[in-house]
Each structure stands twice: as structure tokens, then as C-alpha cells.
Structure 1
């Protein structure tokens, strides 16, 4: 019988608790150590993480020297998908707040996503993606956010800003005109698309399967930056 075997625990900065990496049979699982949220991700179900990168990257891949930003490394599947769909001259920055998650992807988790951190186009930033967004203007062709469980599924209140009008405005400012913002969520949020539009995006909502072509679905919002976008 399969059982969860704890491999490591990684503290989340700013008193955010801790993440735990488990082995579960042939799979790996990341859970919150305590509090609400439980299981956050696993190596068996990553279809929506793949789509989070493939949808926007296909739209901007033909641009020369494409530059994209991923908020949240997770288990490396979004990074791997972005690298798969971008050209050799692209640059993919990944902002990951938790140092332990970076080390897990360099170790036990790396093989499951094809060792994307070993790709020369990948650049890890050990920082909050919010800090990165606040410091950049018209730099990225695409931004992909997989932070927490989405606008309605926050496990840490520190992530609230990212989904606010101000946070979305910072995303718009960090994107080049015509750039694409993709936001992952475990559930739907009826108000979020209107907030994206207010921040300067033309928006569409995509439902994708978490694994295969049946079962649970996750939501990805795709926003294209309009010519004039301002911080909220």
C-alpha cells in the first residue's frame, strides 16, 4: 500500500509556515505543513501547469529574443513547458520565494520535469515575484503566475496584492505592449476577469484538465496587454 513519506520541509519566508515534500509511491507531493490548503501539487497531475505556459508562449514565440517571467517554480512543469515552446534565444526568469523549492527542483524533482533548471535559457530569482514586478517596466513578452491557489484560494494573505488591481496593474506595466499575462487558479472567480480588464488587459478564460482529458479542471485567465496600461 502506498503511503506518504516525508522527504524534506522548507520554511516559507516572512512567517509563511512551511512546505513539505513527500514521496507517494512513484510520485512526489508538496503540501502545506499546517493550516488550510493541504496538498498543493503533485507530479502526477500537471496538465494545467503545462498549459499555463504553452498557451501564452505559443502566442509570443516568434518574437525575437523573447523574455518571459514565471511566478512560482512549483515542480518545474510550467518552466519546462515554456522552454519547450520558446526559441533558442529566449530568456525565462522564474521568481521563487522558497529556497527549499529551488533545491528540490535541482534534486529529487528535477527528473520529473526533464531538468528544466539545467537549460541555459532558465534563470532563477530567489525572491517574491511581486518584488520583481514592481521593479520592471515594459520588459517581458509574457508573465505566467502560479502563486498559491488563485484569487479565491489563497493560503497566505501575503499573496493578496498579486491578484489585486494594483498587482495586475504592475503586471501590465512590466509587460511590453501586446504582452500576455496568464494566471492559474484552482477554481473560477467571477470578479477576476473584470479586474484584469480594469488593469488594462483584454481577457479570456480557459478551462483545462488537471490531468489527461477527464476529471478535475483548473482555470487559466489569459490577458493581452493593451497599448496603454497603467498601474492600479
Structure 2
């Protein structure tokens, strides 16, 4: 057993100090990995269910046998690993703004995400997801390249963003630019910490042919009860 608490990585970034911590939870008898931005918790390995469902629900909408997928926001790697578990995925482009987060995976600091960085289908793009949507797309090697699915987990929700520059993406014009980077019948899926939002659902409906807001419940070991996230799935 390692130390009870360890800060595995820390770095000041333009949006705040990001850190990766590992702690031993004595009540649950598990190793917990957490990401913080300044004093705000972004994600925890105690609650991976909705991040996993983001990939599962998004890719389940696709009927193709060969898929090219973008994951926006790497984090602890649950969404990316779940996408790679789908045998139809031919390529996975992970768009992450913070180089240190990519480095965590390359250094093998997250044992439950082992193999993600080494998988030949995976390519990391150090880039701002939202700037890429507004610009030439996600793949600097192929501007304007289209994908079968884009799976996004960066902000807390469409209304609770990490930086004000992200907010325009969640309006119809921003979503149209994203849709232009999808192939016909391609899928956009989004994780949100908030309950389904009628206003955001309406914005999606202006752009996409079908829209579903899935409530994803999960056991919360900290409260002893249940919590829930939302996964939006929109298809061209």
C-alpha cells in the first residue's frame, strides 16, 4: 500500500492550477484518483459511470462498421478507453488543451487507463476543443476532417462552463460549426453534471435531426445514496 495521500502532478495553466491527486479512502478501502482545478473538483475515479456512458451511448447510435471518433477532454481517460473498447473504432483523436493531462497518461499515472496512450488507434492533439470547432477542425494534419462521433466532456454543463470563451459553443451557431465536422448521420454526445436542460435541448434540436437527453444514475459512495448526470446524444 502506498502513501495515504499523494499529489502526483501539479501545474499552473491559463485557466488555473490543475492537479492530479491519489488518496486512499479508508472507509471504502480503494485508491481514489481526483483532478482539481484550483480548489474545484473536476473529476474523480469514484464516479466514472457517466463518463463511460458518454462513449457507450454516443457510439450506440452509430450503425457503421468503421468509426473515426473524437474525444474532447481527456481527464482520467474513462470516455476514451470506453470508445477504444468498441471494435468498430478505427481511430481515436483525443483533443486536450492541457499538455500535462496528456502527460499523465503517457507516464502511466492512471492504472485504470493503462494502454490508452499505447493503443495504435489513439492520437493526442494538444488543442483547445472550442477554438478547434471555431477554426479548421480537430485534426491539424487534415483541416476540416469529418468524424463519425464527437464525445465531449470539458465543462460542468452547458450553463456552468470552465471559461467564458466556451459559452458560445453551446448556442445554435456553435453547434452548427460542430455539426459541420461530423459525417452524415454522425453523432455529437455531451456529458453534463446538471439535470436535462430544456434550453440546451432546444438549441440541439435546431441543429440535429434527433436529440436525446439520457439521465445516468449512479451510486454515490460519499453520500450513501444515488446521484445522476446527463448525457445528451444528438445525431445529424
Q: How does 1:154-169 map to 2 (within 5 A)?
A: 154-169=161-176
Question: Which blocks of at least 5 consecutive residues in structure 1 are unaligned?
Answer: 226-232
Corresponding residue SS for 1:45: coil
Moved more, 135-144 or 116-125: 135-144
Tell me whether 1:198 sits opposite 2:217 in the alignment: no
Moved more, 42-51 or 150-159: 150-159
Aligned mates of 2:38, 2:10 — CA distance in 1: 8
Q: How does 1:1-232 map to 2 (within 5 A)?
A: 4-12=5-13, 15-25=14-24, 26-34=31-39, 38-60=40-62, 62-87=63-88, 90-133=90-133, 134-136=135-137, 137=144, 139-188=146-195, 189-211=197-219, 215-225=226-236
Q: Is the 8 A contact 2:159 2:167 kept in 1?
A: no
Give 1:132 shift: 3.0
Q: Is the 8 A contact 1:10 1:98 kept in 2?
A: no
Give 1:97 shift: 0.2
Q: Is the 8 A contact 1:10 1:101 kept in 2?
A: no
Kindly indicate which of the two structures has a greater share of residues assigned to strand.
2
Aligned mates of 1:69, 1:145 — CA distance in 2: 8
Q: Is the 8 A contact 2:70 2:151 kept in 1?
A: yes
Moved more, 92-101 or 146-155: 146-155
Number of residue-to-residue matches in the alignment: 217
TM superposition outliers: structure 1 runs of 4+ over 6 Å: none
Aligned mates of 2:193, 2:227 — CA distance in 1: 9
Q: Is the 8 A contact 1:10 1:99 kept in 2?
A: no
Structure 1 pair 210/104, CA: closer, same or farther in 2 (3 Å)? farther
Give CA deviations for 1:149-194 in whole Å, capped at 9, x if unaligned.
1112223212213222222111111111111110110002221000
Q: Is the 8 A contact 1:182 1:221 kept in 2?
A: yes
Corresponding residue SS for 2:180: helix
Aligned mates of 2:169, 2:209 — CA distance in 1: 15
Measured on the aligned residues, the alpha-carbon RMSD in Å equals 2.2
Give 1:211 shift: 4.8
Give 1:21 shift: 1.1
Give CA deviations for 1:44-96 in whole Å, capped at 9, x if unaligned.
21010001001121332x524311111100111100000111326x1111100
Corresponding residue SS for 2:198: coil
Corresponding residue SS for 1:178: strand
The TM-score, its normalising length taken from structure 2, stands at: 0.84
Structure 1 pair 210/75, CA: closer, same or farther in 2 (3 Å)? farther
Aligned mates of 1:120, 1:211 — CA distance in 2: 34
